[in-house]
A and B are shown apart, each in its own frame.
Chain A
C-alpha cells in the first residue's frame, strides 16, 4: 500500500516568490495534517483537515499561507509571498479519522528561501 506522497521533495525559491506543496494521503484516510519542521526541532501543526473541512488552522499564518483539500483527498499548501524565515521542511500526514491516533507521515518537502 502506498504511503503518504508529497511533492516536490525539494524547492529553492527567491523571497517574495510563491510556492506550493502537494500531498496525497493514504487511501481512505479522512484526516490530513500539514506540519512545519525547523532544523533541530519537532514538527509543528499548521492545519488539520477532517475530510474537506479545516478544523484546526490556529497556527497557520493566514496572511501568507493558504491550504485547500478539495474533495477531501489531495491537499495543497501555498505560501505567497515566501519569506526567508519560511525555510523549513513541510510535512504532510494522514490518519484514518479524528479518533484514530496513529498518523503516517510523508517524506516532506524541504523549502529553501534565498
Chain B
C-alpha cells in the first residue's frame, strides 16, 4: 500500500536556526515527489517536484532532496514568514497514465523571532 509519513509533526525554531523536515514514502513506482506549503485557511502552494534519487531543488531558503526512500526539506536560516505547514506528496505510476497524489499529514513549522 502506498504510504507517506512526515516527521516531525510539529517543529519550533528560532529565527536563523536551520533544520530539516523528513518525508518517508513507500510507493510502487514513484512518478514524482512533491513539496507544498500550506498557510492557515489557504490551499496548498506548490514548492518543488523531485523525480529521481539524487535530485535536488532550491528556492530561497528551502532546499529539497530525494533518495529512494525519503525526501528532506532543508530550511536554512529560517524567518518568521516561513512559518506554515509543509506537505509532502508522492505520485505513483499507474496503468493508463492516471496518477494521483498521496499526501502525508504535514509538518507544522513555527519560526519565532
Chain A residues packing against B (C-beta within 8 Å): 4, 33, 40-45, 48, 50, 55-56, 91, 93, 98-99, 101-108, 110
B36 to chain A, nearest CB (A): 8
Chain B residues packing against A (C-beta within 8 Å): 4, 31-32, 34, 36, 41-46, 49, 87, 89, 91, 97-101, 103-106
The majority secondary structure among interface residues of chain B is strand
Is there an interface contact between A105 and B41, defined as CB atoms closer than 8 Å?
Answer: no
Is there an interface contact between B103 and A44, defined as CB atoms closer than 8 Å?
Answer: yes
Query: 8 A-B contacts, Cβ less than 8 Å apart?
Result: A42-B105, A44-B103, A45-B101, A48-B100, A56-B98, A105-B36, A107-B42, A107-B43
Of B31, B41, B43, which is within 8 A of A93 by CB? B43
Cα distance, A40 to B6, chains bound together (Å): 12
